Structure 1
Amino acid sequence: MTDAAFPAPSDLPVDGPELASLIAAKLCHDFISPSGAIMSGLDLLNDPTAQDMRDDALSLITDSAKKMVALVQFCRVAFGAATTAERFTAGELTALVDGVTAGGRATLAWDLGSGDFGKPQSRALVNLAYLIVAALPMGGAATVSVRHEGAQLVIEGLAEGARARLKPEAVTGLSGQRLTEGLAGQWIQPYWLWLTADQHGGTLSVEAVEGRVSMTVRMPS
């Protein structure tokens, strides 16, 4: 994939109802793991033959509930507008992403400065950061930074690691194209990042070579 901005198609490849259903399916997929773990912990607590595992059950419930809350808080900004806040600080956005990526094999470093960001810019930033970390399934170093160039905000993500890569579905989504084969769940968030940039007067450029993945969003600040 070359480092060039993808042109916006004249007609979006996915209409509103289909887009909503795909996002809803992804959210259900993401939420099922922690919610299922909470139920497993409750079953252990209620099992009279497993009272010796009470501490383990409470730990499972606590950790899973924290993960669920982190996912909900992240998704409110990444996919929706269910918040009264019009702008978000750098600290708020880094906390959202760190909450859903903590415990993974990759490290994530931030260079956002001390400014704040509007809803579209925040949505682009947290989705880009999440996808940059996801490009390091076997570990590595991810960085996300922002800078201003005139009236534009430039959001850059870099993933470096021995197995840094983008799945084919992600490549399709990041180019703003309809998925024709593969898993829709792997496609929808990359496509959503592209759509966020495109619909707010911006561009998304991507470069993927062995051991290195970079993404850059440019949009009005």
Structure 2
Amino acid sequence: MIPTDAENDAPPALDLPFEGTELATYVAAKLCHDFISPSGAIVSGLDLMKDPSAQDMRDDALALIEQSANKMVALVHFARVAFGAATSSERFTTRELRDLVVGMTAGGRASLDWRIEEQEFSKPQARALTNLAYLTVGALPLGGNAVIQSRVAHGALFLEGFAEGARARLKPEAVVGLTGRRLTEGLPGQWIQPYWLWLTVKEAGGTLRVAVQEERIALVARMPL
């Protein structure tokens, strides 16, 4: 069943499975995992350029370094908003957040259908939106359409992600995280970002709804204005 805006129940008091240092270790591990691939590719490209016997691959090496460096920059910019405080910024525009999500999802099989009009978002709203959008696109490993939209109803801001495509799915670890539960089995790296989205929404005084149907995933965050 797709979540509707008729759900106006007050968010329950937070009962976190863990927090503090333990939570920080999971987030740090997630970021290190994301950074290692492009940074390793940059090193590989530099090694090729220094190898006298591989000078015929110089153009390929330069292309690899450029692509990986751009990916690393996109990761850093995204992480500053999705996981961090983004320096002193208090408000974020739609265009800024869209660019962050595009940078993270470029090259994937799914298409991003961004339907949010130009407006400003607070830090918690921006953190929720970037993570929700990224997870929506990630639910389409074989391609499809990821619709990201927002609306104001019942005195709240609704951030909505709809993933539609063949074999649209959420991994079991992601479902556990999106419902705010502790991971007891599976890969922590698949769990922490969904849990971080749930925690962001809950700490802001909102609610997060998840609906799974055949070839369709819906993520709906309701947050205070």
Residue in structure 2 matching 1:179, options 183, 189, 192: 183
C-alpha spacing 1:8/1:27, structure 2 compared with 1 (3 Å): farther
Q: Which amino acid aligns with 2:27?
A: I
Give the drift of 1:148: 1.1
Partner of 1:125: 129
Report Cα offsets for 1:103-132 as digits up to 9, x if no partner.
000001111111110100000000000000
Give the drift of 1:134: 0.5
Give the drift of 1:82: 3.5
Counterpart Cα distance in 2 of 1:129 and 1:32 = 23
- 1:24-173 aligned at under 5 Å gives the runs 24-173=28-177
Report Cα offsets for 1:170-203 as digits up to 9, x if no partner.
0000000000000000000000000000000000
User: TM-score normalised to the size of structure 2?
Assistant: 0.94
Counterpart Cα distance in 2 of 1:213 and 1:74 = 23
SS in 1 for 2:162: strand
User: TM-score normalised to the size of structure 1?
Assistant: 0.96
Q: Which amino acid aligns with 2:147?
A: T
Give the drift of 1:62: 0.3
Partner of 1:201: 205
Counterpart Cα distance in 1 of 2:150 and 2:60 = 42
Counterpart Cα distance in 2 of 1:94 and 1:74 = 10
Counterpart Cα distance in 2 of 1:160 and 1:2 = 13
Give the drift of 1:10: 4.8
Q: Unmatched 5+ residue regions in structure 1?
A: none
1:13 aligns with 2:17: yes
Give the drift of 1:54: 0.6
Matched positions, count = 221
Counterpart Cα distance in 2 of 1:111 and 1:158 = 11
Matched residues, percent identical?
Answer: 65
Counterpart Cα distance in 1 of 2:134 and 2:19 = 24
Cα RMSD after superposing both structures? 1.6
